[in-house]
Amino acid sequence: MHETHHDGRAYGAAMATIAATTHDPALLGTLDEIQRRVLWLAVRMVDHANRERPPAPVPAGREAEFAVKVGGHMASSASMVGIMTSLWFAHLDGADKVAVKPHASPVFHAIKYLQGELDRSFLFRLRERGGLQSYPSRTKDPDVADFSTGSVGLGVVAPLFAAMTRRYVDAHFAASDPARFIALVGDAELDEGNVWEAISDAALQGLGNVMFVVDANRQSLDRVIPGQKIKKLMEFFDGSGWHVVEAKYGSLLQAAFAREGGDALRRHIDEMSNEHYQSLFALRGADLRPAFLHDADAAVHRFVDDIDDRELVPLVQNLGGHDLGLLLDSYRACDAVTDRPSVVFAYTVKGWGLPIAGDPLNHAALLSPTQIDALRAELGVDDTTEWDRFPDDSPAGRVCRRAGDEVNNVPPAPRPQLPVPERVGGATGAKPVSTQEVFGRLLTGLGQVPEVSERMVTLSPDVSVSTNLGGWINKYGVFHPEEQPDHLGPDRLLRWQQGPTGRHIELGISEMNLFLALHALGLGQELHGQHLIPIGTVYDPFVCRGLDALIYGLYNGARFVVVGTPAGVTLAPEGGAHQSTITPSIGLELPGLSYAEPCYALALDWLLCDGVRRLGDPDGDSLYLRLSTRPVDQRPFADAAARLGEDELRRQVLAGGYRLVEPDPSLPADAPRVLLASCGAVLPEAVHAARLLAEEGIAATVVDLTSPDRLYRNWRGELQAAARAARPADLDSLAIAALIRPDERRTPIVTVHDAASHSLAWLGSVFGQRTTPVGVDAFGQSGAIVELYEVFDLLP
């Protein structure tokens, strides 16, 4: 494998090559027996799902239209069998948390089955609805994975952020049982930039309870990875201050290298290209020798002459990632280093033990029935025993039972119900004020409620100051595992007092890290036994930069508040690069997230308090607030509160909208009508437009859509329920029915949004009204607010 160091420089002191030590041969023998069964079950599960399970019933005659393969990843699973068997049966204990490489999910389930945590019936339900998920799922798999994985790269760092969360939780609450946080990583996953964003972030340094194990099979989906990739990756980790362990060669090869002339063998393998090395795995006996010796010098020929054909195959494939003793040594070496995270590069064979081993196109390859039959015989099971666990009284059975007792997941306690007030208060006044400014004040206000405050933690990717977290940070400080001197002193606009009691986590400019940290903190209850209230701020356009991590967090059931501010072209002078347009649709469409875009201070107060409370509700969700720096006159809201009463107004604001301005009563009853529906920073333009329209004799109603998301879901939910029950939809029961009165349901609607016009265009469909959507359907540009509103038709 062509992995020699390019400039001959010695690796950093942190890098260690593990030499095999002696282990109890009986234990290694039992682990080997277990790994063979794990391999069999993982492969057979995929095989069964593809060849034996009857397909889901399909409307008659339409079979071809629904015929897609089930799929699954035998080769990616096989390369992890040694790593995962040694880990689960001889290393982990109950408190440890592990993220499993997405395509090794069958291995995870095979292990959980052998340990007694997964019922046998699930072995036949891989990739079936309600069965085992294609990729490990924290929320859907019956044998609960600690972390979901699937979008490569995200699961890699999830345990790193979880360890960061544990460190935070232990510093703020009573310390919990020590746990190790482990990621099992595909080597090509490390191509994803988010991995390196996390590894280099200061907030994630010094976590000695983290271990990554990289399945270095030198293959991705498409190819054998050329060149010196693994050495480069090791250097990256080393350069980031990690403890790096290389488990490259197994004990057979290590022993061969130690024999006389063994150096030449080592050099030959080290210098061989990955493609050449991988091509050897398909060869047996006499075919292997000439291929192995291609380009070898005389010393290697001499050395190999003494090895017979049968010994050559296991020797050539004897990589560290399949040597159980070496793997255990590697894990222990990582445990021994407690001041920084560790990574093991375990060299493996993709498709280990299978006829597709090392084939560059084996990623999704399935064994043929004949190959399955041969493998069954080779791995020591038959038709009658192939799905069995080991007998309880066998050595393997005893190891399975003991490991199972130690590592079964305990279901988490429900999140506590906190005394979150309905409103913080004190945010309103006579002066026009922006939602972003109010948000800053509300945070410090919520900080006055001790049971809530102690669980609040804010985060920002280097935009704390410009998203108004300054007041909160000044009061509660910045988290650092150790007390830090404050060289600049307290007399500054923004203090930066760092220590273990701090309640703000500052991140570098990585929105992926923001959402991955929100995900980790938002699972505080599930993974660490402490419910947290994580609140992250980000410039709204850069929500898109972290979008996959945001989706990941929601998919995993994490609960957090994210504040996108400032948003829209209202950020006028900052220019098109900073003006968000499509984020409302993201907020509306993502499950598990309530998107709200209030315009007025008290509406924001209610929404934030309600959102914080919902983080702890069993059927709650996360909250996305889209805010602005535009100062807004608060009087129209005070008028609406006087008209509707505060309790009713609050109820409507939380439901998603209310009538802000009623039509001018001085207009005749038969005056032409229009309904202006808007939200957020451009709402004052709708209010102003209503006045101008009244002067022209047109009766305009202004509706403030505080959460278009909640209104849409409420409407869509009723339509769906009605359709499924074959009954007419009860539109009068909808929250929107309070916004659009019966006598207005033929009135034309104009929607006005500082966002893509599409986001509110659905509104007219509720009652079948003609709708003109107005919004920002082009990239923005620098200018004054008034100029940009003019460009996008947002000025009345």
Ligand X SMILES: Cc1ncc(C[n+]2csc(CCOP(=O)(O)OP(=O)(O)O)c2C)c(N)n1
Q: Could you list the residues that contact ligand X (CB under 6 A)?
A: 76, 79, 101-103, 151-152, 186-189, 215, 217, 219-221, 350, 363
Enter the DSSP assignment of 619: T
**Angle between the 324-336 and 81-90 helix axes, to the nearest 10 degrees?**
60
Which range in 183-191, 411-419, 662-670, 722-730 contacts Mg ion by CB under 5 A? 183-191
CB of 186 to ligand X, least distance (A): 2
- Minimum distance between the CB of residue 363 and Mg ion, rounded to whole angstroms? 9
Report CA Rg, the chain.
31
Q: Contact at 8 Å (CB) between 406 and 93?
A: yes
- State yes or no: residue 680 binds Mg ion (CB under 5 A): no
SS3 767: coil
Position 237: which residue type? F
Closest approach of Mg ion to the CB of residue 101, in Å: 9
The token pair that represents 650 in the structure block: 């609050």
750 binds, among Mg ion, ligand X, none (CB under 5 to 8 A by kind): none
User: Could you tell me which of 195, 191, 182, 214 has the C-alpha nearest to residue 154?
Assistant: 195
**Angle subtended by helix axes 25-51 and 395-407, to nearest 10:** 80
114's contact among Mg ion, ligand X, none, with CB below 5 to 8 A by partner kind, is none
**Rounded to the nearest whole angstrom, what is the least distance from the CB of residue 217 to Mg ion in the complex?**
4
Shortest Cβ distance from residue 73 to ligand X (Å)? 6
Nearer to ligand X by Cβ, of 2 and 101: the residue is 101
Query: Residue 53, exposed/middle/buried by CB under 10 A (0-12, 13-18, 19+)?
Result: middle
Residue 243 interacting entry, from ligand X, Mg ion, none, C-beta within 5 to 8 Å by type: none
258-288 burial, b for 16+ CB within 10 Å, e for fewer?
eeeebebbbbbbeebebbbbbbbbebeeeeb
Q: Angle at CA 329, nearest 5°, toward 323 and 332?
A: 140
User: Binding segment for Mg ion among 14-22, 59-67, 214-222, 395-403 (CB under 5 A)?
Assistant: 214-222
Minimum CB separation of residue 75 from ligand X in Å reads: 7
User: Residue 40 CB, nearest distance to Mg ion (Å)?
Assistant: 22
Residue 558 structure tokens: 């994490």
353 binds, among Mg ion, ligand X, none (CB under 5 to 8 A by kind): none
Q: Which is nearer to ligand X, 362 or 464 (CB)?
A: 362
**217 lies in the site for Mg ion, by CB under 5 A:** yes
Rounded Cα distance between 407 and 96, Å, is 8
Segment contacting Mg ion by CB under 5 A, of 19-27, 186-194, 407-415, 526-534: 186-194
Write the CA distances from 118 to 408, 612, 651, 762, integer angstroms. Answer: 10, 35, 45, 45
Q: Which helix (H) or strand (E) holds 214?
A: strand 210-216
Strands 533-538 and 561-564, sheet pairing: parallel
Q: Which does 240 bind (CB under 5 to 8 A by kind): Mg ion, ligand X, none?
A: none
Total of chain residues touching Mg ion, rule CB under 5 A: 5
CB of 76 to Mg ion, least distance (A): 7
Measured from the CB atom, is 361 or 374 closer to ligand X?
361
Cα atoms found within 13 Å of the Cα of residue 732, Cβ hemisphere only: 3
Question: Contacting Mg ion (CB under 5 A), which of 186, 534, 566, 611?
Answer: 186
Nearer to Mg ion, 347 or 792 (CB): 347
Residue placing its CB nearer to Mg ion in the complex, 30 or 220: 220
Q: Burial level of 20, CB count in 10 A (0-12/13-18/19+)?
A: buried
Beta carbon nearer to ligand X, 182 or 794:
182
Give, in order, the Cα–Cα distances in Å from 96 to each of 232, 411, 523.
29, 14, 15
Residue 134 or residue 467: which is nearer to ligand X going by CB? 134
| Cβ nearer to ligand X, comparing 189 with 246 | 189
Minimum Å gap between C-beta 386 and ligand X is 25
Minimum Å gap between C-beta 215 and Mg ion is: 6
Instruction: Kindly tell me which of 76 and 274 has the beta carbon lying closer to ligand X.
Output: 76
**Residue 152 partner contact from ligand X, Mg ion, none using kind-dependent CB cut-offs of 5 to 8 Å:** ligand X
Q: Which is nearer to ligand X, 75 or 641 (CB)?
A: 75
Q: Which is nearer to ligand X, 268 or 350 (CB)?
A: 350
DSSP alpha helix (H) spans, 272-356: 274-279, 285-292, 298-305, 309-316, 324-336
- The separation between CA 93 and the C-alpha centre of its own chain, rounded to angstroms, equals 24
The answer to whether residues 103 and 75 touch, using CB atoms and an 8 Å cutoff, is: no
Rounded to a whole number of angstroms, the minimum distance from the CB of residue 45 to ligand X is 17
For residue 187, state whether it binds Mg ion (rule: CB under 5 A).
Answer: yes
Helix (H, G, I), strand (E, B) or coil at 93: coil
- Cβ 340 to Mg ion, closest distance in Å? 25
Number of other CB atoms surrounding residue 86 within 10 Å:
28
Binding segment for Mg ion (CB under 5 A), chosen from 97-105, 192-200, 215-223, 622-630, is 215-223
**CB neighbour burial string for 403-420, b if at least 16 within 10 angstroms, e if fewer:** bbeebeeeeeeebeebeb
Find the shortest distance in angstroms from Cβ 319 to ligand X. 14
- Is 630:681 a contact under the CB 8 Å cutoff? yes
Which window, 86-94, 165-173, 182-190, 455-463, contacts Mg ion (CB under 5 A)? 182-190
Residue 605 interacts with which of ligand X, Mg ion, none, CB < 5 to 8 Å by class: none
Directed axis angle between helix 547-555 and helix 511-521, to 10°?
10
What single-letter DSSP state applies at residue 734?
A: S
Q: Which does 151 bind (CB under 5 to 8 A by kind): ligand X, Mg ion, none?
A: ligand X
Nearer to ligand X, 342 or 348 (CB): 348
Whole-angstrom distance, CA of residue 709 vs CA of residue 553: 19
Q: How far is the CB of 152 from Mg ion (least distance, A)?
A: 10
Across the chain, how many H-helices and E-strands are there?
A: 29, 19
Structure tokens at 787: 């100029």
* Closer by beta carbon to ligand X, 102 or else 159: 102
- Judged by CB, which is closer to ligand X: 547, or 694? 547
CB of 72 to ligand X, least distance (A): 12
Nearer to ligand X, 76 or 652 (CB): 76
Adjacent-strand bridge partners of 771: 749
Q: How far apart are CA 248 and CA 245, in angstroms?
A: 9
454 Cβ partners below 8 Å, 6+ apart? Answer: 172
The interface region with Mg ion, picked from 196-204, 213-221, 373-381, 401-409 by CB under 5 A, is 213-221
Among 85, 86, 194, 219, binds Mg ion (CB under 5 A): 219
Comparing every residue's Cβ against ligand X, the nearest one is 186
Residues forming contacts to Mg ion in the complex (CB under 5 A) are 186-188, 217, 219
